C-alpha cells in the first residue's frame, strides 16, 4: 500500500516541476504524476485532475506549507548550494 498523497495539482507540468524542486530543496522527496498527459492531449489534463505532486503522508503538512508560497524566484539561489 502506497504512503504517497497528493499535496498539489497544477495545470502545467512546469509549475509541478517547480513545486517538486521547492520540496526537494527543503529535504522532502516528491514525485510528479500525469506530467506528460498535457503534452499528449491538452484537454485530458483536466480529466485526470491536473499534474499532481505527491509526497509521503508524513510530510503532508510541511509540503503544503512550503507550496503555499511562490518560491519560483528564489529556487536558483537556494538550491545551488544544496545541489553543488
Domain boundaries, the chain: 4-83
- List, in order, residues 6 or more apart from 63 with CB less than 8 Å away: 7, 8, 23, 28, 30, 53, 55
pLDDT in tens, 23-75: 998 999 999 987 777 666 666 555 566 889 999 999 999 999 999 876 555 55
- Residue 3 confidence class, pLDDT cut points 50, 70, 90: very high
SS (H, E, C) 23-78: HHHCCCCEEEECCCHHHHCCCHHHHCCCEEEEEEHHHHHHHHHHHCCCCCCCHHHH
Say how many CA atoms lie within 13 Å of 78 toward its Cβ.
Answer: 13
Whether pTM exceeds 0.75: no
Alpha carbons within 13 A on the beta-carbon side of 60? 7
Amino acid at each position: 500500500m502506497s504512503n504517497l498523497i497528493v499535496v498539489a495539482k497544477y495545470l502545467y507540468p512546469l509549475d509541478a516541476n517547480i513545486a517538486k524542486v521547492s520540496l526537494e530543496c527543503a529535504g522532502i522527496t516528491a514525485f510528479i504524476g500525469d506530467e506528460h498527459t498535457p503534452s499528449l492531449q491538452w484537454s485530458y489534463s483536466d480529466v485526470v485532475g491536473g499534474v499532481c505532486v505527491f509526497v509521503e503522508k508524513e510530510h503532508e503538512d510541511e509540503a503544503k506549507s512550503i507550496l503555499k508560497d511562490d518560491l519560483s524566484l528564489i529556487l536558483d539561489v537556494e538550491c545551488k548550494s544544496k545541489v553543488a
